[in-house]
Amino acid sequence: MAKKEVSYYPGCSSQTGASSSNMMRATQTMCDELDIQLNEIPDWNCCGASIGYGGGGELPRLTLSARNIALSEQHNPGQEIVATCAACWLSTREAKERLHEDANMFRDANTALNEINLKLNNQTPVRHMVEVLVEDIGFEAIKAKVKKPLQGLKIASYVGCQTNRPFGIAEESFENPVYLDHLIESVGADSIPTYEKKVQCCGGALAFSEPEKSQEMIHGIIEAAYDHGADLIATPCPLCQANVEIYQDQINARFGSKFNMPVVYYSQLMSVAFGRNSKDSALDGQIIRAKSLEEIAGK
Amino acid sequence: MSDLNSAMTERYHNSFLKEVEANVEEGEWVKMCMQCGVCAGSCPLGNAWEHTPQKLFMMIRAGKREAVLSSDAMWMCTSCYNCIARCPRGLPITHIMHGLAHYAKRLGLVPKNQPTAQFSQIFWDNLMKKGRVNELKLGLAIYFKDGFGQGIKNALANKQLGQNMMKAKRMNAMEFFGGHSIKDTGGLQKMIKKAQEIEDAKIQGNS
């Protein structure tokens, strides 16, 4: 496979010691195996996520993303921007599209960028890593890389919101996207096609500000996985992963449940299936250990 | 009433829809709503809102300015984009909710102690300091937003969670002392200041 180079936008939560640093490690492992070279956008900044709107108005928020795109165009010319975080991808792509459609906003963003001698051309595609896997690499090529099939594991595909709406992955439905099921099957595990909480919201940033309301939704996401006999939940989104994994103690206390469900990234499933060890697959970054994956990785 | 709020009330007397169209992100879409209610039925926090998007849009057209801008409804938006995906008229509802929330904040009409409004501001201030979010300080700021005593209580209630995150190396106590940063923080702040000036001037010009 020829080496693919992308302009990589990891995002704040992927940094060392941050909440999805485990996703970053597994992404790196997965990309090594698939011969994808991640060229980080130099000095990238926060995208503002989907909660920055209170403090930041429309133009300041679009300008945050415009700076990242401009830096990418300057330092990684000709390379597509690829993000692994749902919010990073969404904000950047939203900014790209709105600045494309609104000439005044484009002019104003460039006026702000001019303060630091940057210029946005806005010609760079903004993609999610999942699009690279599904559209450029393909399920067959992924299957061909599998050394240790995740046989016997039943995995609920929890796609969540922002990897799915409003842009989503081409040719997928908003109500029942199936690419994650296909990825799960490509690495030899069983998916759960009827998992009804696949695109249920976890509360997003409101897990911090409205924990009771959010934990009620998270409870439903985990309960449905148990109802289907899932061993694990897999997700592409760092906030989904954290929200569904880390509050299980609090949810158990609130609802009298006994949840202890591991929640992992697709990149961790792929790293293990490609024959890499637990550490490379960032399984040590779990709060609820994914023992079934550790066993396969240790074989 | 803030000066800007008075000026806007005066300027758009009897036409709140025009005020929203001119000053709220994607506000020009509001008049396209046909009141079908799909957004209301699709919102994950639909049962927690005082007003669904459908209601807010009708209230905007009916000139219910105070009721709309002081509603806590738009602060319940989780940004799940379900409403956008399903709206048969293609309204960018999520963005309108963010826009209404931001406009209410600009005019000083946000309900007191609205937790998501507080979090949203804390998040923005946090990222503006270093150009990247400092998750440790973000978490602490939320715990302590209602004072020191409540902060200690919140921190203790979430002690196990913090320990779990540190053990998994997904939280780092050293972030308290500086932490991750972009190199050009000064430049980023200068750039955002400029963007804010442009936006403020546009809205002041409408007042």
Structural domain including B45 reads 3-111
pLDDT digits (tens, 9 = 90+) for A151-207: 999 999 999 999 999 999 999 999 999 999 999 999 999 999 999 999 999 999 999
> Which residues lie closer than 8 Å to A236 by C-beta, 6 or more apart?
A84, A86, A128, A129, A130, A159, A160, A163, A180, A265, A266
Instruction: Tell me the chain B residues in contact with residue A54 when contact means C-beta distances shorter than 8 Å.
Output: 101-102, 105, 116-117, 119-121, 123-124
Of B111, B143, B162, the residue at which a domain comes to its end is B111
**CA distance linking residue B146 with residue A168, whole number of Å:** 38
| B95 and B143 inside one domain | no
* Token pair of B139 as six digits: 């978490």
Q: Is B201 contained in some domain? A: no
| B107 and B119 inside one domain | no
Q: Quick check: B78 and A48 CB within 8 A?
A: no
Q: Is B207 contained in some domain? A: no
Q: Quick check: B188 and A166 CB within 8 A?
A: no
Of B68, B94, B111, the residue at which a domain comes to its end is B111
The domain spans of chain A are 4-129, 142-298
pLDDT at B13: 87
pLDDT at B2: 86
Q: Quick check: A210 and B180 CB within 8 A?
A: no
Q: Give, rounded to a whole angstrom, the gap between the first and last alpha carbons of chain B.
A: 14
| B89 and B172 inside one domain | no
| B106 and B149 inside one domain | no
**CA distance linking residue B145 with residue A241, whole number of Å:** 25
B198–chain A Cβ distance below 8 A for any pair: yes
| B164 and B74 inside one domain | no
Considering only the top CATH level, what class is A142-298? alpha beta
**CA distance linking residue B124 with residue A54, whole number of Å:** 8
Q: Quick check: B133 and A217 CB within 8 A?
A: no
Q: Is B61 contained in some domain? A: yes
User: What pTM does this model have?
Assistant: 0.97
User: A109: nearest CA in chain B?
Assistant: B195
B191–chain A Cβ distance below 8 A for any pair: yes
Distance from CA of A39 to the nearest CA of B (A): 17
Stretch A263-285: mean pLDDT, rounded?
98
Q: Is B175 contained in some domain? A: yes
For an interface test with B, the pick among A22, A25, A59, A94 (most B C-beta atoms closer than 10 Å) comes out as A59
* A4-129, CATH topology level: Glutathione S-transferase Yfyf (Class Pi); Chain A, domain 2 (1.20.1050)
Helices (H), chain A: 21-34, 58-75, 86-101, 103-114, 129-131, 139-145, 179-186, 206-209, 211-227, 238-246, 248-255, 266-273, 291-298
Task: Write a three-state SS string for A255-295.
Answer: HCCCCCCCEEEHHHHHHHHCCCCCCCCCHHHCCCCCHHHHH
B184–chain A Cβ distance below 8 A for any pair: yes
| B25 and B90 inside one domain | yes
Stretch A15-20: mean pLDDT, rounded?
96
pLDDT at B7: 93
CATH number at residue B23: 1.10.1060.10
| pLDDT tens, N- to C-terminus, chain B (207 residues) | 689 999 999 999 879 999 999 999 999 999 999 999 999 999 999 989 889 999 999 999 999 999 999 999 999 999 999 999 999 999 999 999 999 999 999 999 999 999 999 999 999 999 999 999 999 999 999 999 999 999 999 999 999 999 999 999 999 999 999 899 999 999 999 999 999 999 999 999 988
**CA distance linking residue A27 with residue A203, whole number of Å:** 25
∠ CA A234-A152-A158 to the nearest 5 degrees?
15
User: Are A209 and B118 a contacting pair, CB within 8 Å?
Assistant: yes
| B66 and B153 inside one domain | no
> Which residues lie closer than 8 Å to B140 by C-beta, 6 or more apart?
B151, B155, B176
Q: Quick check: A18 and B120 CB within 8 A?
A: no
| B91 and B135 inside one domain | no
Q: Quick check: A46 and B116 CB within 8 A?
A: no
| B46 and B89 inside one domain | yes
| B81 and B171 inside one domain | no
Domain count, chain B: 2
| B133 and B68 inside one domain | no
Q: Quick check: A17 and B170 CB within 8 A?
A: yes
Chain B (120-149) residues lying within 8 Å, Cβ to Cβ, of chain A: 120-121, 123-125, 127-128, 131-133, 135, 139, 142
Distance from CA of A37 to the nearest CA of B (A): 22
Distance from CA of B21 to the nearest CA of A (A): 14
| B150 and B173 inside one domain | yes
Of B76, B111, B146, the residue at which a domain comes to its end is B111
pLDDT at B14: 79
B188–chain A Cβ distance below 8 A for any pair: yes
